[in-house]
């Protein structure tokens, strides 16, 4: 039994406003979340939900996760950037070089994302949301491959990437140096356990792979808070089955 990546969760000061931006930008249908906030449904069976929930802490550092969006041509890249800016995104500088060919933007709450230039062969066939690029160690890439049952599709020079057996968005980790983690991540994974599975047994399995359990379901939210080997927060949703 392995967990399923149900959602990438965004903590936001204004969850509905941020959900509206990503809904319009990605063309995903929003639905009310049974726990709190708003959820965007995946575009197909290779994707995962996007959840937007309240988060009180102000954003002060660069996120450890960001989307890499693909382009079919230079004109397509310009259209994507223009559309994002029209909806409320803005240009930001994170040290990118002009020759790298990608445009770095931030959504209305400052969450970084990149619009890549055309011709990226690594993300060919992955769709518009080509990758969820993460700051992280080789070990954490191995952990998530085992946790989700997703094969490694890249493992060189301590950089790793995994992808669902069904295809779709890749999840990548850039290897060292890994930036210090000053506080709670604004973005985190939500996992679910198969309907016929044993949540406690799955949590034990995740711990055996290197995760740490840091919370319980006693608060009534139906979630168990955990961290991966790099200290990144994630949740296992248990008591309440999320909307499909």
DSSP calls for 14-76 = SHHHHHHHHHHHHT--EEE-SSSSEEEPPSSTT--EEEEEE--SPP-S--SEEEEE--SSHHH
Look up the pTM and report it: 0.93
As a whole number of angstroms, the distance between CA 181 and CA 68 comes to 21
Residue 68 structure tokens: 């890499």
| Burial label, 144 (beta-carbon count in 10 A; 0-12, 13-18, 19+) | buried
List, for residues 60-117, the tens digit of each pLDDT value.
899 999 999 999 999 999 999 999 999 999 999 887 777 678 999 999 999 999 999 9
pLDDT band at 40 (very low <50, low <70, confident <90, very high): very high
Instruction: Quote the pLDDT of residue 219.
Output: 52
Q: Which segment, 37-41, 80-84, 181-185, is predicted with the most confidence on average?
A: 80-84
Share of the chain above pLDDT 70, in %: 93
Q: What share of the chain is helix, strand, coil (3-state, %, to 5)?
A: 20, 30, 50
pLDDT digits 0-9 by tens, 163-182 = 999 999 999 999 999 988 98
Q: What is the pLDDT of residues 122-140, one digit of tens each?
A: 999 999 999 999 999 999 9
Give the rounded distance of the alpha carbon of 24 from its chain centre.
18
Checking if the pLDDT of 244 tops 60, the result is no
């Amino acid at each position: 039994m392995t967990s399923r990546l149900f959602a990438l969760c965004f903590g936001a000061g204004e969850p509905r406003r941020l959900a509206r931006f990503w809904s319009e930008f990605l063309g995903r249908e929003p639905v009310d979340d049974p726990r709190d906030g708003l959820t965007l449904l995946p575009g197909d069976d290779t994707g995962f939900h996007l959840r937007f929930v309240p988060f009180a802490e102000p954003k002060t550092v660069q996120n450890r996760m960001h989307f890499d969006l693909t382009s079919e041509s230079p004109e397509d890249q310009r259209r994507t950037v223009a559309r994002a800016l029209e909806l409320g995104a803005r240009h930001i500088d994170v040290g990118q070089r002009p020759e790298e060919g990608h445009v770095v933007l931030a959504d209305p709450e400052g969450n970084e994302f990149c619009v890549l230039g055309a011709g990226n062969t690594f993300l060919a066939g992955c769709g518009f949301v080509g990758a969820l690029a993460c700051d992280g160690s080789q070990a954490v890439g191995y952990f998530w491959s085992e946790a989700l049952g997703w094969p490694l599709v890249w493992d060189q020079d301590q950089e790793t990437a995994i992808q669902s057996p069904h295809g779709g968005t890749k999840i990548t980790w850039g290897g060292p140096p890994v930036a210090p983690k000053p506080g709670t991540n604004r973005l985190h994974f939500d996992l679910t356990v198969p309907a016929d599975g044993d949540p406690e047994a799955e949590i034990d399995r995740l711990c055996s792979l290197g995760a740490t359990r840091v919370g319980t379901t006693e608060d009534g939210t139906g979630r168990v808070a955990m961290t991966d080997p790099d200290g990144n927060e994630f949740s296992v949703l248990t008591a309440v089955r999320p909307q499909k």
